[in-house]
Amino acid sequence: MSAAPHLSPEAKASLPQHVAVIMDGNGRWARERHLPRIEGHRRGAESAKSIIRTAGEVGIKYLTLYAFSVENWNRPKDEVDALMKYLIHYLKTETPDLNKNNVRLEAIGQIHRLPENVQEQLKKSIATLAKNNGLTLVLALSYGGRTEIVDSVRGIAREVKAGKLDPDAITEKIFSQHLYTRNYPDPDLLIRTSGEMRVSNFLLWQISYAELVITATLWPDFRRPQFFAALEEYAKRHRRFGGI
């Protein structure tokens, strides 16, 4: 995917409302440079900062970043602990800048599984940025698409059991209203870095009609030019939603 330092008029005219990103390749980036994995995550956080700022500047309304999956809990404890500490550090240091840039912060996933100090800092940052009305940044933390769907089914089942919902009245819209993402539109564009051709249990229900852009660029090297290139590719797509 070639670099694009500036967005074309065509891309500006057809910006996706919601961009979701599978930020893959931090470990590979570090390994190729004989660096510890956490250094790849640190550099990856710099890429996230760049993309968040760029998305807000060009007028994208929602940006969802796959920051930590439910499967990531299976990684070595020292790496998970380091990631949690880095998440707290990132939230503390970046919240003022996010506030300056009118970014609203939200989070989806099994947030209750995060360490208490991470949950506390996340709540503080979300509260600080709650009144902003620019880009909505959604961090997917302890998130899994299948887990989300199961949680949605449980919520619907409880309502049916309580007599609040008729099973025959369940529609796609009602199902969507029980997902973690009930307050956001479905992603228009899904970007995956590092060249892997899979969606990795990310927003499985929501990306049913998203346009996919896969780039071989590893996430720590994914910055403004690569993001613009993805937006240019999106502008070339004809979204038919099953029609002609």
Please compute, for residue 92, the number of CA atoms within 13 A of its CA located in the half-sphere on the CB side.
11
Q: Could you say which of 26, 72, 102, 201 is catalytic?
A: 72
Q: What is the sign, positive or negative, of the torsion defined by CA atoms of 114, 118, 121, 125?
A: negative
* Cβ(67)–Cβ(23) below 8 Å: yes
72 is annotated as an active-site residue: yes
Rounded Cα distance between 180 and 201, Å, is 14
DSSP-derived pairing of the beta strands 62-69 and 211-214: unpaired
- DSSP annotation of 236: T
- Phi and psi, residue 11, nearest 5°: -70, -40
Q: Is 24 annotated as catalytic? A: yes
The number of C-alpha atoms within 13 Å of 186 and in the hemisphere containing its C-beta is 15
Closest CA to 19 of 137, 147, 180, 144: 137
* Placement of tokens 């440079």 in the chain: 33
Catalytic amino acids?
A: 24, 72
